[in-house]
Structure 1
Amino acid sequence: MNYLLVAATPFEIAPTVELIKQKKIKVDVLIAGIGMLATAYHLTRKLAEKKYDFVIQAGIAGCFDKDFQLGDVVIVKDEIVGDLGVKEKKEYKDLFDMNFLKPNDFPYSSKVLKNKNKDALKLLKLPRVSGVTVNQITTAKPVIDLYVRKYNAVVESMEGAALHYICSQEKTPFLQLRSISNYVGERNKSKWKIKEAIVNLNEEVVRVLSSEF
């Protein structure tokens, strides 16, 4: 299996990278940068340079649902960009609401960017959730409520939708793994569990890299 491992920052996948070096596992690593723009550029360029059998995006994320514990790892089954639209008369409208996109315009399906690779989604026994990708970390309760109500979002990242969009366009199988480091809106970082989230995240990444499917 020809793997590409993608992360926004080096520290999120540092344990896996160290293991790759020690065991000489054949996997390419791409640190694509924070945010959709950086991820879109670097991932597209990488996929143009080389054909991959499978792309794994790994990173920490905020969570909207307190039924999940900090440190839990999830698979993101579908994504949406949460702040691509307009706020008009106190109502947020996305591109679908404004009829710039139809619900099933490729690569969208029912207004979201789905991972349609069933084998990838079943690879790990982890919860499969919906994600929202944003350009600005969410702190305001009305916005939190909007993402949960409108998109059924469980996790928030700044890169996930770029992975889903690009890999769907390129017809490259992919998997987005996120480990919950904090609850969305909580800015007291002493309550976050970044270290635990990274440990758990990398354990699951290694499981994927050790699998054949």
Structure 2
Amino acid sequence: MTGLLVVTAVPAEAEAVRQGLADPTTVTVVPVGVGPAVAGAATARLLALAEAAGRPYQGVVSAGVAGGFPGRVPVGGTVLGDHSVAADLGAESPEGFLPVEELGMPAELLGAPSVLAADPTLLTRLRQRLPGATVGPVLTVSTVTGTVTSTAALVARHPTAVAEAMEGYAVAVAADQARLPFVELRTISNPIGPRDRAAWQLGTALTALTAAAAALGPTGDQAATPPGC
């Protein structure tokens, strides 16, 4: 059996995770690209190749930096997602945003619900190893929130959400389809709100990601090499 697959968006996040691993031989870290489409497709491919090679992964983590909701998690803080949410999957209406489940489609056509819970065992293990982490829903969006109006709308729809990123839900769907445990691990580079790219503290978030990666302990008994990569 191989170990844990950790999926990041960009190489800098992957390198930050690798630097913090206590035992890199049981954890595979792969940067797959930015956004839900490429993240979901690439993760599904990695999982399928590993299964076909007879070396399936034992769990999946979506890791990287994120925006944090002000007052809920500070810049440099660590977040564990107890749920990964497809925050913009649905439709606009005069009454406000409607999640995909409220569009009248039969449940069997949806493929997956718009909110996926983290695996309780994996989440508990990481909570024990990261006692200072903020735990709560992490939103997945295709467009990064950058205005006061859009931030207020997200807060109203997701009053307990702690962070926003662009890949977690898609990676969760791939893990769910493969019947594998999943959790989302994020560190905060900026507050969610009016976009100010110059104020993002990426270095701080990446340093925090390296520290948090130490919690990703061994889950398998053999080295986890990503098949087909």
Under TM normalisation by the shorter chain, which class is it?
0.7 to 0.9
Which secondary structure does the structure 2 equivalent of 1:209 belong to? coil
CA contact (8 A) 2:189 2:202 kept: yes
- Tell me how far 1:24 sits from its aligned partner: 5.7
Q: What amino acid sits opposite 1:56 in the alignment?
A: V
- Aligned-residue sequence identity (percent) comes to 25
Partner of 1:141: 148
Amino acid at match of 1:162: A
CA contact (8 A) 2:18 2:213 kept: no
1:201–1:89: structure 2 CA closer, same or farther, 3 Å change rule?
Answer: same
* Shift in Å, 1:107: 4.2
Q: Is residue 175–residue 182 contact of structure 2 (8 Å, CA) maintained in 1?
A: yes
* RMSD of Structure 2 on Structure 1 (CA): 2.4
Q: Residue 73 of structure 2 contacts residue 162 of structure 2 at CA under 8 Å; is this kept in 1?
A: no
Q: Which amino acid aligns with 1:202?
A: T
Shift of 1:139: 1.3
Question: Which of 68, 71, 79 is the matching residue for 1:74?
Answer: 79
Q: Counterparts in 2 of 1:87-166, with a 5 A limit?
A: 87-89=92-94, 91-100=96-105, 102=107, 107-108=112-113, 112-115=115-118, 117-124=119-126, 125=131, 126-152=133-159, 153-166=161-174
Match of 1:185 in 2: 193
Q: CA deviation at 1:84?
A: 1.9
> Do structure 1's residue 56 and structure 2's residue 61 form an aligned pair?
yes
The 3 A distance-change label for structure 1 pair 16 and 63 is: closer
Tell me how far apart the structure 2 counterparts of residues 99 and 178 of structure 1 sit (CA, whole Å).
33
In structure 1, the residue matched to 2:224 is none
Cα 1:16–1:77 change in 2 (3 A) is same
Structure 2 unaligned blocks of 5 or more: 51-55, 221-229
Question: How far off its partner does 1:122 sit?
Answer: 1.4
Matches within 5 A, 1:166-177: 166-177=174-185
Residue correspondences, number: 206
Q: After the TM superposition, which segments of 4 or more aligned residues of structure 1 sit over 6 Å from their partners?
A: none
For 1:74, the aligned partner's letter is V
Cα 1:80–1:207, aligned 2, differ >3 Å: closer, same or farther?
closer
Give the TM-score of the pair, scaled to structure 1: 0.86
1:12-40 CA-partner distances (Å, limit 9, x unpaired): 131333566x9763332221100000011
SS at match of 2:102: coil
> Residue 205 and residue 169 in structure 1: after superposition, are their counterparts in 2 closer, same or farther (change >3 A)?
same
Q: Are 1:13 and 1:198, in contact at CA under 8 Å, matched by a contact in 2?
A: no
Query: Partner of 2:15 in structure 1?
Result: 14
Q: CA deviation at 1:210?
A: 5.2
Q: What TM-score do the two structures reach when normalised by structure 2?
A: 0.80
Separation in 2, partners of 1:24, 1:207? 12
- Which range is displaced more, 150-159 or 46-55? 150-159
